[in-house]
């Protein structure tokens, strides 16, 4: 089901861990298309963009992750550490 957000996020995380940031990027973007305020998807997108070496896009995605993923400390940790 392409609109099951939890499955999209799990698949994106798995692809990222498996060394496929392009696929993780695609899955995170699909989740964002369905729910633009889904902070966890923005965080996964930022991680995929960083893994591909696209620091500028990752920074913008981190801004969205921090805006929408307030209950997730991992966004704060990841996004603040990536600028160091």
Segment 46-74, tens digit of pLDDT: 999 999 999 999 999 999 999 988 767 88
Instruction: Determine the Cα–Cα distance for residues 81 and 66; give it in Å rounded to an integer.
Output: 13
Contact present, 60 and 42 (Cβ < 8 Å): no
pTM of the complete model: 0.91
Reported confidence tier of residue 13, pLDDT bands at 50, 70, 90:
very high
Structure tokens at 75: 């966004």
Q: Is the pLDDT of residue 17 over 90?
A: yes
Task: With cut-offs at 50, 70 and 90, classify the pLDDT of residue 14.
Answer: very high
Q: For 19-36, what is the mean pLDDT?
A: 96
């Amino acid at each position: 089901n392409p609109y099951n957000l939890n499955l999209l996020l799990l698949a994106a995380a798995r692809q990222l861990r498996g060394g496929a940031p392009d696929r993780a990027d695609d899955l995170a973007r699909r989740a964002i298309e369905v729910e633009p305020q889904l902070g966890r998807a923005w965080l996964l997108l930022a991680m995929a963009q960083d893994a591909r070496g696209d620091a500028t896009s990752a920074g913008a995605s981190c801004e969205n992750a921090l805006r929408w993923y307030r209950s997730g400390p991992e966004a704060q940790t990841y996004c603040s550490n990536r600028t160091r």
